[in-house]
Amino acid sequence: MIKTPFGSKSTADEVLAGLDLSDRTVVVTGCSGGIGFETMRALSAKGARVIGIARSLNKAQNACLRTDTQATAVGCDQSDLQSVIHAADFISERFEKIDVIVANAGITGSKQATTRDGIEMQFLVNYLSHFLLVNKLLPKLPDKKGRVVIVSSSASKNQAPKEGIRFDDLDGHRDYSASKFYGQSKLALSIFAGELSRRLAPRGIVVNSLHPGAVRGTDLNRSIQFPVSLVLSIAELFFKTASQGAATQCLLAASPLVEGVSGQYWADCQITGGSKYLTDLVMAERLWRTSEELLVRKLNVGG
């Protein structure tokens, strides 16, 4: 198994040290803050042409301006799949190739289940919107060199339902828990990464998922309410910095140290153990099929 010289304290700049990425075009979702912004900033600093996606064009533009580079801003509300389609079409029309996709954006849920188009919001934003975006951009990824980086979480193992994906309760009507459904959305991302890796193997495109670690200063916990928010604010004193949190995804996006490595689950810049469901090929196939059905039948959009 591959081992890298980096670990939990490594920063995005450290894992990219010495690299010239001026020939790379990279898409980063959730670029407006936290590890998404740090990923965009670090890759841009090494010369990569970065396409930064945020919830609104204004947020994306402000983030891109902060990098002091020629990053391209794209507004995309990932709770609206038509917005995802428009963003993917814009990118496809403007760029001849995309070397790397970093699926980073994410939300946490509120105490009460929130749905759109009959789908629980965390599953929709964290997972299904990325399933759609990545699949629409796949024709732009070059064979043998393309990379897809899926930002999951340890919640995929520690918080997801014990049965894995609740295919019969994707709207949370039966038994909703914000933390459990967050874990389910992150499990779906890692399962998706594994299945996508298998499907893209003939093209030589690598796909990996990762846990960035507990990171302070992100927008992810904006929906968390008092008193949990108070406890979290104290705990954050011991969390990773945003640059440390972005290190693993930057490593997977650009480092030659991991070239050709695919279908793995990473944390702290090393391959690690994920959920037991990451090797469940039946669940992976069902998730893929269900995702396509949700897009085509319920939402009337193409995957």
pLDDT of residue 158: 96
Confidence of residue 1 (pLDDT cuts 50, 70, 90): confident
* Segments in the chain forming alpha helices (H): 12-15, 34-45, 57-66, 81-94, 121-122, 129-137, 155-158, 178-200, 228-235, 242-245, 247-254, 281-293
128-169: pLDDT as tens digits: 999 999 999 999 999 999 999 999 999 999 999 999 999 999
Question: CA 238, CA 295: separation in Å to the nearest integer?
Answer: 40
Confidence of residue 221 (pLDDT cuts 50, 70, 90): very low
pLDDT of residue 109: 86
Per the CB < 8 A criterion, the answer to whether 103 and 130 are in contact is: yes
Catalytic residue among 176, 182, 265, 277: 176
Q: Which two tokens stand for residue 232?
A: 């979290």
Is the pLDDT assigned to residue 225 strictly greater than 70? no
Averaged pLDDT for residues 201-228: 75
pLDDT of residue 224: 47
Confidence of residue 301 (pLDDT cuts 50, 70, 90): low
* Residue 273 dihedral angles phi and psi, to the nearest 5°: -85, 135
pLDDT of residue 230: 44
pLDDT of residue 236: 52
Nearest alpha-carbon partner for 105 in 71, 58, 59, 54:
54
Mark whether 277 is an active-site residue.
no
Per the CB < 8 A criterion, the answer to whether 164 and 105 are in contact is: no
pLDDT of residue 89: 97
240-252: pLDDT as tens digits: 999 999 999 999 9
Q: What is the overall mean pLDDT for the chain?
A: 92
Is the pLDDT assigned to residue 234 strictly greater than 60? no
Averaged pLDDT for residues 31-58: 97
pLDDT of residue 239: 80
Question: CA 191, CA 100: separation in Å to the nearest integer?
Answer: 19
pLDDT of residue 118: 86
Confidence of residue 258 (pLDDT cuts 50, 70, 90): very high
13-29: pLDDT as tens digits: 999 999 999 999 999 99
Please state at what angle helix 247-254 crosses helix 34-45, rounded to 10 degrees. Answer: 40
More confident position, 239 or 93: 93
pLDDT of residue 179: 95
Cβ contacts of residue 254 below 8 Å, gap of 6+?
A: 16, 19, 21, 24, 26, 43, 46, 48, 100, 147
